[in-house]
């Protein structure tokens, strides 16, 4: 059954889970003159069911992955919207992983100072994270996601059928964000997958739906309370301070979710060393992440000599406040704390523990 989760951000909108995206889109398109569907090259074939005969619909194909989130692609799409006479009453639709929905959202934010758009996330990471929360953006030579806007879609359509073609690696990467929500806000997520491997989880459609619903509910709640990243939204950053640094340092050989998985173990090490969490809660991180195939140790290309670069990268993170690196950590009893006084020897100790 379709579940609707509403979010209050720069606008009020809903995430529809386990829905038929194409029939939903037809519904949303009724009163629009033009619909522009943005899709990446390797997902284009999956849109063959779309009827283009009305002339109302354009499909804009962009390069796959991060390459699609560029200023060149954005510029080319502005030109296409101009040529097709795309007005403020028309609709953009992003069908793809987080890279496509980030680009489409930013295209929608910038064209005519803002047009409506719909997110159709096709990766698990997109469903539970990238397409939810209103952040859109592109990569530039200055860095990843430095140029962007808050511009929520009018709807997010989550169709679980997309997940069938997703690799186990990408599915697990998405699960890292789901598990993160389990640690920061919804213990039931962790209980419901306890002891299960990735194949067992994927085989249970109802379980997958419930994991997506729970993770979206956590993000929707946090974003609705704190849209523009005051203090509460920071909890979504669990595992991300260190995660971002190793993701960049690996030159994206590590998927975002894999980096976050290692990042969660890293902050759990710090919290355990400070006595904030028990050995049991610490072990739960390693156990639950590794059981779904996520890494809990750094790849062997990382050595102690990389630590100064990683520390510098954490200090440059756009979420740094007042020049201090902040880590979100768990605190026994489902509490969260933000630490901005973690010293270099604590960091070194935690880092040594996660070297492989
Ligand atoms: N806006 C936000 O709040 C937010 C949050 C998290 C991440 N992001 C962004 O999201 C991006 C990462 O998203 P992602 O992990 O979805 O990666 P992605 O968009 O690069 O997709 C990963 C790969 O999976 C392929 N793919 C997509 N759907 C598929 C399917 N159903 N079956 C088979 N293959 C499929 C894609 O073509 C791509 O090759 C990053 O750019 C990140 O910055 C944004
Ligand atoms: Zn993330």
Ligand nearest to the CA of 177: 2
Give residue limits of the domains in the chain.
Answer: 3-165, 168-353
| Equal fold, 3-165 vs 168-353 | no
Q: Which atom of ligand 1 is nearest to the CA of 40?
A: 37
Domain 3-165 has CATH 3.40.1190.10: no
Active site residue 151: no
Number of H helices, E strands in the chain: 13, 11
Residue 75: how many other CB atoms lie within 10 Å: 9
Pick the catalytic residue from 180, 237, 269, 284. 237
Cα–Cα distance measured from residue 115 to residue 134, given in angstroms and rounded to the nearest whole number: 14
Tell me, rounded to whole angstroms, the distance of Cα 164 from its chain centroid. 19
Closest ligand relative to 248 C-alpha: 1
pLDDT in tens for each of the 356 residues of the chain? Answer: 899 999 999 899 999 998 899 999 888 888 899 999 999 999 999 998 887 777 889 999 999 999 999 999 999 999 999 999 999 999 999 999 999 999 999 999 999 999 999 999 999 999 999 999 999 999 988 878 889 999 999 999 999 999 999 999 999 999 999 999 999 999 999 999 999 999 999 999 999 999 999 999 999 999 998 877 777 888 999 999 999 999 999 998 999 999 999 999 999 999 999 999 999 999 999 999 999 999 999 999 999 999 999 999 998 876 666 778 999 999 976 689 999 999 999 999 999 999 99
For ligand 2, the distance from its centroid to the CA atom of residue 102, given in whole angstroms, is: 13
DSSP codes, 115-163: -EEEEEE-SHHIIIIITSSSEEEEEETTEEEEEEEE---SEEEE-GGGG
**Residue 204 C-alpha to ligand 2 middle, in angstroms?**
24
Ligand 1 atom having least distance to the Cα of 174: 15
d(CA 213, CA 16): 9
Record the pTM. Answer: 0.95
Q: State the Cα–Cα distance between residues 56 and 38, nearest whole angstrom.
A: 14
Query: Could you please report the per-residue DSSP string of 46-60?
Result: GGTTS--TTS-EEEE
- Choosing from 113, 141, 191, 343, the catalytic residue is 113
168-353 to CATH, choices 3.40.50.800, 3.60.15.10, 2.40.10.10, 1.20.1090.10 = 1.20.1090.10
């Amino acid at each position: 059954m379709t579940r609707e989760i509403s979010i209050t951000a720069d606008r009020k909108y809903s995430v529809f889970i386990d829905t038929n995206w194409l029939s939903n889109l037809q519904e949303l398109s009724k009163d629009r003159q033009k619909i522009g569907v943005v899709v990446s090259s390797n997902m284009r074939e999956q849109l063959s069911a779309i009827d283009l005969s009305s002339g109302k619909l354009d499909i804009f194909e962009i390069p796959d992955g991060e390459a699609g989130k560029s200023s060149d692609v954005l510029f080319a799409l502005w030109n296409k919207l101009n040529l097709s006479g795309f007005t403020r009453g028309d609709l953009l639709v992003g069908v793809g992983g987080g890279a496509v929905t980030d680009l489409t959202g930013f295209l929608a934010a910038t064209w005519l100072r803002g047009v409506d758009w719909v997110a159709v996330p096709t990766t698990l990471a997109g469903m539970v994270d990238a397409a939810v929360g209103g952040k859109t953006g592109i990569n530039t030579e200055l860095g990843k996601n430095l140029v962007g806007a808050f511009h929520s879609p009018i709807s997010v359509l989550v169709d679980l059928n997309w997940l069938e073609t997703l690799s186990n690696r990408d599915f697990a990467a998405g699960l890292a964000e789901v598990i993160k929500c389990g640690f920061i806000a919804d213990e039931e997520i962790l209980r419901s997958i306890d002891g299960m491997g990735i194949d067992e989880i994927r085989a249970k459609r109802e379980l997958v739906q419930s994991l997506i619903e729970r993770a979206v509910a956590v993000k929707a709640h946090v974003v609705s309370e704190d849209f523009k990243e005051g203090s509460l939204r920071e909890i979504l950053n669990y595992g991300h301070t260190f995660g971002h640094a190793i993701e960049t340092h690996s030159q994206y050989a590590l998927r975002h979710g894999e980096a976050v998985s290692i990042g969660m173990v890293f902050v759990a090490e710090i919290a355990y060393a400070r006595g904030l969490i028990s050995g049991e809660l610490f072990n739960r991180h390693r156990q639950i992440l590794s059981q779904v195939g996520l890494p809990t140790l750094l790849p062997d290309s990382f050595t102690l000599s990389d630590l100064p670069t990683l520390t510098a990268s954490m200090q440059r993170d756009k979420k740094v406040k007042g020049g201090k690196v902040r880590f979100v950590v768990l605190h026994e009893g489902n509490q969260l704390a933000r630490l901005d006084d973690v010293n270099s020897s604590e960091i070194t100790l935690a880092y040594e523990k996660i070297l492989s």
